[in-house]
Amino acid sequence: ARQGPLVTAIHFVAETLAGVPSLVLGLFGFLVFGSLLALGTTRLTGALTLLCLNLPLAVRLYEDALASVPRDLREGGLALGSTKWHMIRTVVLPSALPGIVTAIILSEGKIIAEAAALIFTMGTSNPGNVFTLNPLIGSDNLTIRIWYVQTLGAGAVDPKAVNSVSAGGAAVLILVLLIINLGARGIGRVIQRRVTAA
C-alpha cells in the first residue's frame, strides 16, 4: 500500500531515533523534559525519556507484526461482507497477536534493562522505604541501583560484599524479566484463543 506523508514522517523519526545512543537520549530527556518543561529529575521525566528511547523499536515491531498477516486473510474477510474495522478486529489483530506480544516483551525488556538514560532523567536517589506511585519525585530502579553500588563500591573495604549485592540485584532483575516474559506469553496465548474462537 502507498504510504502517506504522516506514515513517512513517523518512519523517518523512528529510524532517526533508533540510531541515537541511550546516553544521548538521556541528556535530551534531561534538557527537554527536566529543564525546558521544568519536570526536574523525576520518574515522569524518566518515563518520557524511555518512551522516546523505545518508540523506534516498538513502532517497527508492531508494524512488522501487522504486515505479517497474509493479504488473502484480509481480502477474504472483506469478501465475506465485513466492514474494514470488523475485519481488522476479527482477522488482522488475532493473526498478528503473537508478533504484538513479542514486541511488547522486547520493549519491556529494553525498558527494564535501561540505566544510562535514567541516571540523567530520574536520578539516583531512593525515596526511602515508602511505597509511592508519585511520578514527580526522584527515584531509582534496580538497574541504576546495581550501577550505583558497583560505582561507589569500587574502593570499598569489602569488595566481595559489593559484588554480592550487585550479583544479587542482577539475579533479581533476570528473574523479574523471566516472570514477565512467561506471563506475557501466557496472556497472549489466552487472548489469542479467545479472539480466534469468537
What confidence score (pLDDT) does residue 150 get?
81
Determine the Cα–Cα distance for residues 195 and 91; give it in Å rounded to an integer: 9
pLDDT in tens, 73-122: 888 988 988 899 999 988 898 888 888 888 888 888 888 878 778 877 88
Long-range contacts of 21-27 (CB under 8 A, 24+ apart): 21/116, 22/53, 22/114, 22/116, 22/117, 23/116, 23/117, 23/120, 25/49, 25/52, 25/53, 25/117, 26/116, 26/117, 26/118, 26/119, 26/120, 26/121, 27/120
Element housing 148 (H / E) = helix 142-152
Q: Are 97 and 192 in contact (CB under 8 A)?
A: yes
DSSP secondary-structure letter at 16?
H
Domain ranges of the chain: 5-197
pLDDT grade, residue 1 (50/70/90)?
A: low
pLDDT at 5 over 80: yes
pTM, whole model, 2 decimals? 0.73
The C-alpha angle 103, 141, 108, rounded to 5 degrees, equals 5
| pLDDT score recorded for residue 166 | 85
What gap in Å lies between CA 110 and CA 105, rounded to an integer? 9
CATH 1.10.3720.10 corresponds to the domain 5-197: yes
- Say whether pLDDT at 36 is over 90: yes
DSSP 106-123: HHHHHHHH--HHHHHHT-
Which band of pLDDT confidence, cut at 50, 70 and 90, is reported for residue 155? low
Q: Render pLDDT for 166-188 as a digit per residue (tens, 0 to 9).
A: 889 889 988 988 898 888 888 87
Task: Please list, in sequence order, all residues whose beta carbon lies within 8 angstroms of the beta carbon of residue 91, skipping any fewer than 6 positions away.
Answer: 69, 73, 74, 76, 77, 82
Query: What is residue 85's predicted lDDT score, i.e. its pLDDT?
Result: 92
Q: How confident is the prediction for the chain on average, in pLDDT? A: 84
Residue with cell 520493549: 107
User: Looking at the predicted structure, is the pLDDT value of residue 37 above 90?
Assistant: yes
Q: How far apart, in whole angstroms, are the C-alpha atoms of residue 44 and residue 138?
A: 9
